[in-house]
Amino acid sequence: MARSLVIITFFLFLSSIAISQTVDLKNLHNEEPKEAYDNIHVKKLHSDSLSSSFLIWIKDRVKPHRHNWHTEQLYVVSGQGIMTLGKETFAIKKGDYFIIQKGSIHSVKVTSDIPLKVLSIQSPEFLGNDREFID
């Protein structure tokens, strides 16, 4: 009985390691791109069939676009900007968090001297083929 309990505990421990991943938000604040970039730099943090997460740096702007199959959650790690979401325009800054429903047109203009850095979580998994730019 004791041996069975140890084996079950061991497998539960292994499964918890396999299905969980810790992201230290302090490290996101210190993270910087390793290579030069013109306007936007994207670093994939995680991806599976349910969601994808990215750290994104923006120097100038992201043009209006929508995701037809994804909901996007954004957390502003650093910098400031003006976000347009649908017909609403508002200032964003470090610490702000918001949700962009699938199909919602959105864009951002950086207003700070430093790049806007955001944590973007998209669900379901983002495979790069669900960004429709709006003229």
The answer to the question of residue 11 being in a domain is no
Identify the domain containing residue 88 by its residue range: 24-133
The answer to the question of residue 41 being in a domain is yes
**Residue 16 class from Cβ within 10 Å (0-12 exposed, 13-18 middle, 19+ buried)?**
exposed
The answer to the question of residue 18 being in a domain is no
The answer to the question of residue 117 being in a domain is yes
31, 63, 72, 127 from 52: Cα distances, Å: 18, 21, 10, 9
The answer to the question of residue 5 being in a domain is no
What's residue 21's pLDDT? 62
pTM of the model: 0.81
Give the count of domains, the chain: 1
The answer to the question of residue 72 being in a domain is yes
What's residue 63's pLDDT? 97
Strand 61-66 relative to strand 106-110: parallel, antiparallel, unpaired? antiparallel
Query: Measured between alpha carbons, how far is 39 from 62 in angstroms, rounded to an integer?
Result: 9
The answer to the question of residue 69 being in a domain is yes
Nearest Cα to Cα of residue 51 among 99, 110, 116: 99
Q: Which residues contact 87 (CB under 8 A, 6 or more apart)?
A: none
Q: What is the CATH number of the domain that holds 49?
A: 2.60.120.10
What's residue 28's pLDDT? 77
Tens digit of each residue's pLDDT, the chain (135 residues)? 555 444 444 334 444 444 556 666 667 778 899 899 999 999 999 999 999 999 999 999 999 999 999 999 999 999 999 999 999 999 999 999 999 999 999 999 999 999 999 999 999 999 888 889 998
The answer to the question of residue 9 being in a domain is no
Q: Which residues contact 125 (CB under 8 A, 6 or more apart)?
A: 47, 48, 49, 50, 51, 52
